[in-house]
Amino acid sequence: MKIIIVGSGAGGGTAALVLASKGYDITILEAGKPFKPFTRYLTLVEPLKMMGLLGGESNINRIFPHMNIIRSARDLVLVRGINLGGSTTISCVNMVRTEHGFKKLGLDLSPEFEELEKKLNIKAIPMKRWRPLTYKMYQTAENLGFNPKATPKAVKLDKCNSCGLCEMGCLTGARWDSNQFLNEAIKMGAVIHTSSPVDKLLIEKGHVTGVLIRSGSSTKIVKADAVILAAGCVGTAQILKRSGFKIQDKLWADIVLTVGGISKGAKQLKEPPMTWFSKHENYILSPYLDILSHFFHKPWRNVSINDRVGIMIKIADTEKGTISYDGSIQKTITDNDKLTMNTAISKAKTILEASGVSGPFIKGMYNGGHLGGTVHLKKEDISSMKPSGLPEGLWVADLSLVPYSQGLPTIMLTSALAMRVSNTLSQ
């Protein structure tokens, strides 16, 4: 049986590994190119930033070409990775069991979470490797009753040099990304084609029979017995719409804002990002130096990277947003999102001030990088792991399946879903 997997991130990489290990004929189609870490260029970028020569977020992908930036509203940008490995290559690899709203659906991913935790040897960064200020902020959060916890990560500590630039790519190979799963799948016979953007599905008599790849003016048909869409919420939605299927206007993004302060010589970047997190109702707080805000957000421009200190806020936002055929997105920060964010900002400032961080406390860029909800599962879909309305031979294995914004790291959730979908397909 030949299966096409569209996308190579957490969902596509996991599906490829699971199905290749079961003997299926796997072809992975990735729209982007092979990923190359770009941390080595940041020393050249800093002086340009201080002079205001980098401009705004529209220039991000000129310096970080694997980041696709979409402005969905005047005050919100969405970020995704388009390259081999998808968004896993530009992530902090926080591996948290994320399952908001799943009890209502009757979905329990505990077996998949356990398998991933064992396979990836997930563990927290030891406190002895935290920066002194990060530990102080942790203690402050603890004293305030915020119940902070060390963040579980997929990082090989013996290879990690604490550069703090996980999201820019890992030069040492310490940080996991889905290329490791893809490489295992290749050894089992899977084939990968990069620079192969899928335009639409091929359907005959109600059954998906392959895909059409369109690159510029050239097209190519690839046939298969089944197709798994794991192109990320945006890519999957585009393919479905161009193939004549409806998607839900229920896009969520786990909207992020970093509150920045100043502490001379803090060097927050000299540790892995998000070493701890504090979970609250509908949001988390975590120490984080926002690289994109540092370089491209004008209010952050005049502070050295060694002196900037940040606390990230990640909220479970309102599930409301639309993805168009061309990949453009309409999604705003709702009044309810703003209320949640303002509550979180107040607590973030309290932690910073009580830890000796000076103001002015300045908000970074509002952004979102966990995109989901547009082909979501309902309770009646759980046994098949397939949203109703999809034709025979078509599956989805990314965050599109998740109906609710999580407000938490979602890589392990995406992999767990892909694992469940792949095992269900094989049955």
- What pLDDT does 43 receive? 61
Asked if the model's pLDDT at residue 54 lies above 70, the reply is: no
- What pLDDT does 44 receive? 65
Asked if the model's pLDDT at residue 58 lies above 70, the reply is: no
Q: How many other C-beta atoms are found inside a 10 Å radius of the C-beta of residue 121? A: 11
The string of DSSP codes covering 102-143 is: HHHHT---HHHHHHHHHHHT-EEPPGGGS-HHHHHHHHHHHH
128 and 203 belong to one structural domain: no
- What pLDDT does 298 receive? 83
- What pLDDT does 78 receive? 95
Record the pTM.
0.95
Cα 370–chain centre separation:
5
311 and 195 belong to one structural domain: no
User: For residue 299, is the peptide bond before it cis, meaning its omega torsion is within 30 degrees of 0?
Assistant: no
222 and 256 belong to one structural domain: no
Which residue pairs from 143-147 have beta carbons closer than 8 angstroms and sit at least 24 positions apart in sequence? 143/354, 144/347, 144/350, 144/351, 144/354, 146/278, 146/280, 146/285, 146/347, 146/351, 147/278, 147/279
- What pLDDT does 169 receive? 86
Output phi, psi for 269, to 5 deg. Answer: -70, -10
Helix (H) or strand (E) holding 312: strand 308-315
- What pLDDT does 189 receive? 98
In a domain, 165, yes or no: yes
Cα 316–chain centre separation:
14
- What pLDDT does 215 receive? 86
261 and 390 belong to one structural domain: no
Quote the CA–CA distance of 247 and 337 in Å, as a whole number: 23
- What pLDDT does 147 receive? 98
182 and 264 belong to one structural domain: no
Number of independent structural domains in the chain = 2
- What pLDDT does 185 receive? 98
Q: Tell me which residue of 166, 160, 176, 136 sits closest to 354, measured CA to CA.
A: 136
- Spell out where 151-190 has E strands: 152-153
Are the beta carbons of 177 and 92 closer than 8 angstroms?
no
In a domain, 402, yes or no: yes
CA angle centred on 380, ends 375 and 383, rounded to 5°? 95
213 and 164 belong to one structural domain: no
- What pLDDT does 372 receive? 97
- What pLDDT does 148 receive? 98
Share of the chain above pLDDT 90, in %: 84
401 and 347 belong to one structural domain: no
Q: Tell me which residue of 177, 233, 174 sits closest to 370, measured CA to CA.
A: 233
Are the beta carbons of 159 and 153 closer than 8 angstroms?
no
244 and 258 belong to one structural domain: no
Query: Which of 368, 385, 411 marks a domain boundary?
Result: 368
Mean pLDDT of the chain: 93
- What pLDDT does 37 receive? 83
pLDDT digits (tens, 9 = 90+) for 130-140: 999 999 999 99
294 and 356 belong to one structural domain: yes
Q: How many other C-beta atoms are found inside a 10 Å radius of the C-beta of residue 2? A: 14
Query: Which of 344, 368, 392 marks a domain boundary?
Result: 368
Asked if the model's pLDDT at residue 194 lies above 70, the reply is: yes
Asked if the model's pLDDT at residue 40 lies above 60, the reply is: no
Name residue 4's beta-bridge partners.
27, 227
280 and 355 belong to one structural domain: yes
Asked if the model's pLDDT at residue 41 lies above 90, the reply is: no
Domain that holds residue 7: 2-33+177-250+373-426
71 Cβ neighbours under 8 A, 6+ residues apart = 57, 58, 77, 78
pLDDT confidence tier of residue 295, bands split at 50, 70 and 90: confident
Q: Output 44 or 209, whichever has higher pLDDT.
A: 209
In a domain, 265, yes or no: yes
User: Can you tell me the mean pLDDT for 145-168?
Assistant: 94
The residue count for the chain: 427
- What pLDDT does 167 receive? 87
Retrieve residue 73's tokens. Answer: 């509203």
pLDDT digits (tens, 9 = 90+) for 324-343: 989 899 999 999 999 999 99
User: Can you tell me the mean pLDDT for 236-253?
Assistant: 96
Retrieve residue 370's tokens. Answer: 């966990």
Q: How many other C-beta atoms are found inside a 10 Å radius of the C-beta of residue 233? A: 28
Quote the CA–CA distance of 33 and 23 in Å, as a whole number: 26
Asked if the model's pLDDT at residue 171 lies above 70, the reply is: yes
Output phi, psi for 31, to 5 deg. Answer: -70, -30
- What pLDDT does 52 receive? 63
Output phi, psi for 249, to 5 deg. Answer: -85, 60
181 and 192 belong to one structural domain: yes
- What pLDDT does 293 receive? 86
Name residue 28's beta-bridge partners.
5, 192
Retrieve residue 155's tokens. Answer: 């990082």
333 Cβ neighbours under 8 A, 6+ residues apart = 73, 75, 76, 255, 317, 341, 366
Cβ-count burial 188-211 (b if 16+ within 10 Å, e if not): eebebeeebbbebbbbeeeebbbb
263 and 244 belong to one structural domain: no
